Structure 1
Amino acid sequence: MRRIYEPENLMEAQMLIGMLASEGIEVFLTGRDLVGATGELPMHGLLGLAVVDEQAGYARQLIDAYNAAQPVAGDEPESYPGTLIC
């Protein structure tokens, strides 16, 4: 098992879990139970996505592609230029 990514929040974590699962990658979210202690614990590094070692490279490629995504020209709302519509 290898920790491959630290999502910023639970929403990003769940979205990435769904994306990776759709590609056949089994993902484990670590630190979910610690999020309730925010304020008492530092927020950075609590959450982590982990996958089996054999799938770590492919999972990391998918997450890198997600992080590099740019909005398609004309697809973003006029009030929020540069924002992806999901």
Structure 2
Amino acid sequence: MQRVYSPADLAEANLLSGMLAAHHIRSHISGGYLQGAIGDLPVHDLLGLWVDDDDLPRSQQLIHDYLSASPLHDDDDWQGAGEPQV
């Protein structure tokens, strides 16, 4: 296995792990159980997202695409086109 990404927090790690799983890529989050010991441990580089060697290039591309995506700015877009707005 190789480390593909260093998430900022456990929420980001789980989000990216789920995104990879949706693309049939197994991943492992290391350091997740160390979050409770942050007062005693250096915070830098505590979490890691790991994938199999064969999945590394595809995982890097998927994570890059996710991180470089632009968010939607129109808050009303989530309701859909034909639905009445409240």
- Structure 2: where are the runs of 5+ without partners? 77-86
Tell me which structure has the larger Cα radius of gyration.
2
Q: What's the C-alpha RMSD, in Å, of the aligned pairs?
A: 1.3
Determine which structure has greater relative contact order: mean sequence separation of CA pairs < 8 Å that are 6+ residues apart, divided by chain length: 2
- Structure 1: where are the runs of 5+ without partners? 77-86
**Matched positions, count:** 76
Higher helix share: 2
Q: What does 1:33-72 align with in structure 2 at a 5 Å threshold?
A: 33-72=33-72
Identity of aligned residues (%): 45
CA drift of 1:34 comes to: 1.2
Q: Which runs of 4+ in 1 moved over 2 A?
A: 72-76
Normalised TM-score (structure 1): 0.82
